[in-house]
Chains A and B, each alone.
Chain A
Amino acid sequence: MADLLVVSDAGLYCPAGDFWIDPWRSVPRAVITHAHADHARSGCDRYLCAAPGKLVMRSRLGGTVPIDTLRYGESTTFNGVTVSLHPAGHVLGSAQVRVEHGGQVWVVSGDYKTAPDPTCAPFEPVRCDVFITESTFGLPIYRWPAPETIAAEIDAWWRANQAEGKTSVLLAYALGKAQRLAAMVDPSIGPIHGHGAVMKLVRAYRDSGVRLPPIDEVPARAKRVGQGRALVIAPPSVAGSGWLRVFGEVAVAQASGWMTVRGIRRRRGFGTGFVLSDHADFPGLVSAVEATGARRVLVTHGSSESFARFLRGRGLEADVLATRFTGEQPDRDDAGDPSDDTLGADGEHETEESVPDDGAAVDSALRGEQP
Chain B
Amino acid sequence: MDNRNPPQNSLVSVHNLTFSRGQKKIFDDISLEFERGKITAIMGPSGTGKTTLLKIIGGQLFPEKGTVTVNGRNVHHLKRDELYTLRKRMGMLFQSGALLTGMNVYDNVAFPLREHTQLPESMIRTLVLIKLEAVGLRGARDLMPNELSGGMARRVALARAIALDPMMIMYDEPFTGQDPISMGALVLLIKSLNTTLGLTSIIVSHDVQETSAIADYIYVLSEGKVVGQGTPQEIQQSSSEWVQQFMNGAADGPVHFHYPAKEYMDDLLFTEKTLFPRKRLIGGKSTTKRSRY
Binding partners A and B: no
Interface residues of B (CB under 8 A from A): none
